């Protein structure tokens, strides 16, 4: 009897807690546009069942803040514009996030598991003295998350007993929140004084007219089998016919065929397009970690024993130097 009453109280307390969830999503942007992974993080935040706020910090925020205020499910946009946020340094953003948290007392703080989020979120967690949770693929309850380990070969369900849950979200595991239909309120924050431990010098971004790798519907990836960076042109031509992004295996990056930011895999980018075409890629565990949630996988490889064929929906055992141009030509005729 007593136990039943206690259980009932606990349930009531749990539902109360649920009602007072409030999540802060740290928006990623380039002072011009919002980075798409933020929309996936907002969807994850909405799953938690409480109010969702979004922090936009940078040297020029008005445009992005407007963009975020229209995203469905965002109640409040907090804006911090200051030169100190040049380069989005974690040392400068962390005190701002801590002050914002002190003011609003969030139950959850999150960002997309991009290079930006991975760099920043654990530092925030460290300052809050809580254990962060990386790259979650599912939310089972406000304190229970699923994430992968061992290059995607193990799913780990983890319960977080921290007062504040601080985590990053795998973009490919959550739909993007709709970019219209929202009408969030905007609030300006006063930036805390600069920390000055670090300074942003410059950046060299890879220029490309193709879709961005992590959000493309079709991805064509090349591996060591391409033999040279010149031969990657074959993949670019095929990608152009499919409006696809181009990725690469670690082997192709290490051999210098393409820049590092094209690497798909455990320690590169995680992609889950509708169609993934792996060309001259053997399919090491570490590469599969980055693409095995793709809806349809095609492998083109001349080695019939290549492990990639074990996960491919359609496998073509052929010389890529003949098969890829032929594919490009046939697509042109369509």
Partner 1 sequence: MAPLKVLVGVKRVIDFAVKVRVAPGGQGVQEQGVKHSLNPFCEIALEEAVRLREKGDAAEVVVASVGTRQSQEVLRTALALGADRAVLVEVPPGGPALGPREVAAALSRLVARESPHLVLLGKQAIDDDCNQTGQLLAAALDWAQGTFVSRLALEAGAVRVQRELDGGLETLRLRLPAVLSADLRLNQPRYASLPSIMKAKKKPLELLPLPELLGCPPAPPRLRVLRLEEPPGRQGGQRVENVAALLERLAAAGRI
- For 123, residues 6+ apart whose C-beta sits below 8 A from its C-beta are 90, 91, 94
Verify binding: residue 181, partner 1, rule CB under 8 A: no
Among 83, 198, 228, 303, binds partner 1 (CB under 8 A): 198
Scan residues 262-281 and list those touching partner 1 (CB under 8 A): 266-267, 269, 274-275
Among 260, 303, 319, 332, binds partner 1 (CB under 8 A): 260
Q: Coil, strand, or helix at residue 69?
A: helix
With 0-12 / 13-18 / 19 or more C-beta atoms within 10 angstroms meaning exposed / middle / buried, residue 7 is exposed
Q: Coil, strand, or helix at residue 210?
A: coil
Q: Specify the stretch interacting with partner 1 by CB under 8 A; choose among 14-22, 54-62, 64-72, 305-313.
A: 305-313
Among 93, 111, 252, 312, binds partner 1 (CB under 8 A): 312
Instruction: Confirm or deny that 264 is annotated as ligand binding.
Output: yes
Instruction: Confirm or deny that 74 is annotated as ligand binding.
Output: no
Interface with partner 1: number of residues (CB under 8 A): 88
Verify binding: residue 242, partner 1, rule CB under 8 A: yes
Verify binding: residue 311, partner 1, rule CB under 8 A: yes
Scan residues 33-92 and list those touching partner 1 (CB under 8 A): 87, 89-91
Structure token digits, residue 5:
């009453």
- Cα separation, 283 vs 223, whole angstroms: 9
Q: How far is CA 38 from the centre of its chain?
A: 8
Verify binding: residue 160, partner 1, rule CB under 8 A: yes
Instruction: Return the number of the residue (36 or 49) whose C-beta is nearest partner 1.
Output: 36
Among 15, 190, 202, 230, binds partner 1 (CB under 8 A): 202
Scan residues 99-118 and list those touching partner 1 (CB under 8 A): 114-116, 118
- Cα separation, 2 vs 271, whole angstroms: 51
Best CA proximity match to 27, nearest among 96, 102, 104: 96
- Cα separation, 184 vs 181, whole angstroms: 10
Smallest separation, CB 96 to partner 1 (Å): 14
Q: Specify the stretch interacting with partner 1 by CB under 8 A; choose among 9-17, 45-53, 179-187, 289-297.
A: 289-297
Structure token digits, residue 82:
């200051």
- Cα separation, 122 vs 180, whole angstroms: 31
Instruction: Return the number of the residue (31 or 119) whose C-beta is nearest partner 1.
Output: 119
Paired residues of 110 in beta bridges: 25, 167
Instruction: Confirm or deny that 284 is annotated as ligand binding.
Output: yes
Verify binding: residue 205, partner 1, rule CB under 8 A: yes
Q: Which residue has the tokens 């989005």?
A: 88
Verify binding: residue 2, partner 1, rule CB under 8 A: no
Contact 214, 309 (CB under 8 A): no
Instruction: Give binding residues for FAD as ranges.
Output: 224, 249-250, 263-267, 280-287, 301
Instruction: Give binding residues as ranges.
Output: 224, 249-250, 263-267, 280-287, 301
């Amino acid at each position: 009897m007593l136990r039943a009453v206690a259980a009932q109280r606990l349930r009531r307390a749990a539902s109360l807690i649920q009602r007072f969830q409030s999540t802060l999503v740290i928006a990623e942007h380039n002072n011009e546009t919002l980075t798409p992974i933020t929309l996936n993080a907002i969807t994850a935040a909405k799953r938690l069942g409480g109010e969702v706020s979004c922090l936009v910090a940078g040297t020029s925020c008005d445009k992005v803040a407007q963009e975020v205020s229209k995203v469905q499910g965002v109640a409040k946009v907090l804006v911090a514009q200051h030169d100190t946020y040049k380069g989005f340094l974690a040392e400068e953003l962390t005190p701002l996030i801590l002050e914002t948290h002190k003011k609003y007392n969030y139950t959850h703080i999150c960002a997309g598991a991009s290079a930006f989020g991975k760099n920043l979120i654990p530092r925030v967690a460290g300052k809050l003295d809580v254990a962060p949770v990386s790259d979650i693929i599912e939310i089972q309850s406000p304190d229970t998350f699923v994430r992968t380990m061992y290059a995607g070969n193990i799913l780990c369900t983890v319960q977080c007993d921290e007062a504040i849950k601080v985590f990053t979200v795998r973009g490919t595991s959550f739909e993007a929140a709709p970019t219209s239909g929202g009408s969030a309120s905007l609030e300006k924050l006063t930036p805390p004084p600069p920390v000055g431990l670090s300074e942003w010098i410059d950046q060299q971004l890879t220029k490309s007219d193709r879709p961005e790798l992590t959000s493309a519907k079709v991805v064509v990836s090349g591996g060591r089998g391409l033999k040279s960076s010149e031969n990657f042109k074959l993949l670019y031509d095929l990608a152009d016919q499919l409006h696809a992004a181009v990725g690469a295996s670690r082997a192709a990056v290490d051999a210098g065929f393409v820049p590092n930011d094209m690497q798909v895999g455990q320690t590169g980018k995680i992609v889950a397009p509708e169609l993934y075409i792996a060309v001259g890629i053997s399919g090491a565990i570490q590469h599969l970690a980055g693409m095995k949630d793709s809806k349809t996988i095609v492998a083109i490889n001349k080695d019939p024993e290549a492990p990639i064929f074990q996960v491919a929906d359609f496998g073509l055992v052929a010389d890529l130097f003949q098969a890829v141009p032929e594919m490009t030509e046939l697509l042109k005729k369509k």
